[in-house]
Amino acid sequence: MARIPEFYKLSVSQRVREVRKQGLLSNQDYQALASGNHTLSIQSADKMIENVIGVMGLPLALGLNFLINDKAYAIPLVVEEPSIVAALSSAAKIARAGGGFRVESSEPILIGQIQVVDVPHPQRAKAALLQRKSEILNLANSLHPNMVARGGGAKDLQVLIHPSSGQRGDMVVAHLLVDTCDAMGANLVNTMCEGVASLVENIAEGKVFLRILSNLTDRALVKARVSIPLDALAGRGFDGEQVRDGIILANEFASIDPYRAATHNKGIMNGIDAVALATGNDWRALETGAHAWAARGSHYTSLTQWTRGEDGSLEGELEIPIKVGIVGGALQSNPTAAMNLRLLGVSSARELAEVMGAVGLAQNFSAIRALATEGIQQGHMTLHARSVAAAAGATPKIFETVVDRLIESGEIKIWKARELIEQAVSPRVKAAKEKPQSETATEERNVSSGHGKIILLGEHAVVYGRHAIATPIPLAIQAHVQRGGDGVELIIPRWGVEQRLHRSAEKQHAYEKSLAIIFKTLGLERESMRLEIFPNVPRAMGLGGSAAIAVATIRALDRCFELGLDDERVNELAFECEKIAHGTPSGIDNTLSTYGQTMLFRSGESPLRKVIEIDQAVQLVVGISGVESLTAATVSRVRKAREAHPELYETIFNQIDSLVIEGVDALVGHKLETLGELMNICHGLLNAMQVSSWELEEMIQIARRHGALGAKLTGGGGGGSIIALCPPEPGAADRIESGIREAGYQTIQVTMGGKPKNR
């Protein structure tokens, strides 16, 4: 339970079903989650606070892999900050190597404060209050007999004297210590303070002023511990001792420096607050109590301690006041909070507090582990460049270009960003932008390129040895390689990627695996370098982005290390990378990316790469859905269907193949109406194979309504992009493009012709 491998790869509906299978959801809660009916209604919200005008949503996720006091948990988290959920789940998985988290907690005591001023004899008042403690406690408990019956209620009374420089003398403060059991208890404690105020006032012979609870719940302490073996710490190119010592050093910094401690402790509360929000608890009270506890000594300090264990392991401890509840009005009025508590499966408020303590320690471990190793630099340059570009006033249209060129320049400064903005809108750059980006890139930026592509006719059938027509698009991916550094530093500004790649890592992403193949094949396994990728091709949009990255990277390595690779060698190596990205690719993407020419393509035993010469321009509009589509997934879906119905799918593939052959003649002969009809029929066959989506269908219908001669999906489908063939009349492409854009989609215009594209 609470161990669901590759949970993050599932769709939302699949995750909900998997959680139900694990027995963490009742049928009623499953239906509520699946239908979206679990959220707070506007009517309920209106009864909770004043002046309600709506309800704001936040992501609800699960932290997995947690083992706390030998019990497995799937922990609901409500948080909008990226990476917290993944970091927690990863930390919990690592902690299991040492037996998980051990957590203990004290009774759930809240403190109510009764302030007495104008006291003539403070010490006498203190003695009198303590002497009549039983009387005060009995009065307080009489106000909430049900709480007493459950084993809670007012348990003790403390009295403090605070010196005062004012004319009213020292103040006497009575602390009412209340066990609120499984309730949050704020209203209960406030009621008790109000109820005993007059009695306290009479006994102390002064005047009661404030009577209210304290959010410094230092009687409700949680202490979480974890021990992590060195083997579990190793990874990302670091051995266990390096990671352990780095974490200890980072924690030491937080323990002595309040500026560092503030951010250090904020990381702890990232996890605790997410659980508090999910379970309907007062995260603001938890925050202020935690930070007050961190400041109880001579200076504000770290809430955690990380040390070296006797066996060399990393040992962590978090001590923090946590007072929460699992019953009460707020939980009853918010159906999601109640559902999350059922999913979490805690039986008491103390157990919930212990879960929060483990989550806080896990989040702290994950954060400082990243800081202590490679993560301190990850994303720093790219995020800084984006901030600088925004501050300099870069408009959305040129924003990504400015970010790219800021990083390339190495001068991530406001003045440089303004200079780049001015260049981007100057007549010279405007004229340059009329060229395909693949051409201007090599002229201005000394980078290598790989083309994006669209398939005019033949997708999916081409995987099974049939023909396809494809053409490059005026978007390219550029790459630049610079020798030096330590290992391989990868920077992709537009995607916010900035990390050091470890080629020997056991678990690698697809791009890292592709790079490993490239390095091994080219004999660059021991070389250190900085690799920058500038992706103008949207990823996972059916436009050949993965192949373009591979081709651009190979060419950049060729240029930097002077390898002398020809196009055929680049194409072969890019195809090996495509196998990692897509499983069983046809090779059309890497071929178009490498050669950048419109061609008739066929893979298999009798491969064909024939350039199609087009005398008259053919105008297309590409509509981009924004819904990422993994070609490997749609190819796999078609393969399974073909295996189940081989004759049917072979017939479909043959029909598509005949459309492609006829399409070549229509394209060369500029028979656009015929070509458009072939595209429409081809899309119908692709739709029958269930590789379309409602976004693609909407764009196709819009394009046809606005005069497109033909429109179809392009690439793998399942999301991604469509292409629309424009009639040969002035303004037709603009009209179709505007229609698609007005529906909220992105577009680009593509002109097919016989002119070879430079690289």
| Same domain (yes/no): 453, 517 | yes
Number of helices followed by number of strands (H, E) in the chain: 29, 21
| Same domain (yes/no): 438, 543 | yes
Mean of the per-residue pLDDT values for the chain?
A: 86
Domain presence at residue 472? yes
Domain presence at residue 224? no
Task: Report pLDDT digits (tens) over 664-680.
Answer: 999 999 999 999 999 99
Catalytic residue among 21, 162, 380, 640: 380
Q: Is the pLDDT of residue 391 over 80?
A: no
Domain presence at residue 569? yes
How is residue 98 annotated by DSSP? Answer: G
Catalytic residue among 155, 266, 291, 579: 266
| Same domain (yes/no): 276, 392 | no
Residue 428's pLDDT band, with cuts at 50, 70 and 90, is very low
Last residue of a domain, one of 432, 453, 472: 432
Last residue of a domain, one of 390, 417, 432: 432
pLDDT at 355: 97
Q: Is the pLDDT of residue 443 over 60?
A: no
pLDDT at 86: 86
Minimum mean pLDDT range among 27-31, 326-330, 436-440, 713-717 = 436-440
Q: Where does residue 511 rank: exposed (0-12), middle (13-18), buried (19+ CB within 10 A)?
A: buried
Domain presence at residue 227? no
Task: Please state the rounded mean pLDDT for residues 465-487.
Answer: 86
| Same domain (yes/no): 129, 187 | yes
Domain ranges, residue 117: 109-214
| Same domain (yes/no): 359, 388 | no
Task: Report pLDDT digits (tens) over 2-16.
Answer: 577 778 777 888 888
Burial profile 231-260: b = 16 or more Cβ within 10 angstroms, e = fewer: ebbebbbbebeebbebbbebbeebbeebeb
Q: 596 or 485, which is more confident?
A: 596
* Residue 155 bears catalytic tag: no
CA distances from 338 to 284, 329, 344 (A): 19, 11, 10
Domain presence at residue 51? yes
Task: Please state the rounded mean pLDDT for residues 582-591.
Answer: 81
* Residue 81 bears catalytic tag: yes
Q: Is the pLDDT of residue 582 over 90?
A: no
| Same domain (yes/no): 443, 573 | yes
Catalytic residue among 81, 525, 568, 613: 81
CA distances from 713 to 171, 477, 641, 694, 753 (A): 77, 22, 19, 11, 21
Dist CA 595 CA 461 (whole Å): 22
* Residue 380 bears catalytic tag: yes
Q: Are strands 529-535 and 488-492 parallel, antiparallel or unpaired?
A: parallel
Domain presence at residue 757? no
Task: Please state the rounded mean pLDDT for residues 263-279.
Answer: 95
| Same domain (yes/no): 441, 579 | yes
Catalytic residue among 182, 282, 408, 657: 282
* Residue 480 bears catalytic tag: no
Domain presence at residue 635? yes
| Same domain (yes/no): 203, 351 | no
Residue 122's pLDDT band, with cuts at 50, 70 and 90, is very high
Domain presence at residue 2? no
Q: 375 or 366, which is more confident?
A: 366
Minimum mean pLDDT range among 41-45, 67-71, 139-143, 291-295 = 41-45
| Same domain (yes/no): 686, 746 | yes
pLDDT at 444: 45
Task: Report pLDDT digits (tens) over 690-743.
Answer: 888 888 999 999 999 999 999 999 988 888 899 999 999 999 999 999 999 998
pLDDT at 261: 95
**Token pair listed for 623:** 């509509």
pLDDT at 155: 95
Q: Is the pLDDT of residue 350 over 80?
A: yes
Question: What domain count does the chain have?
Answer: 5
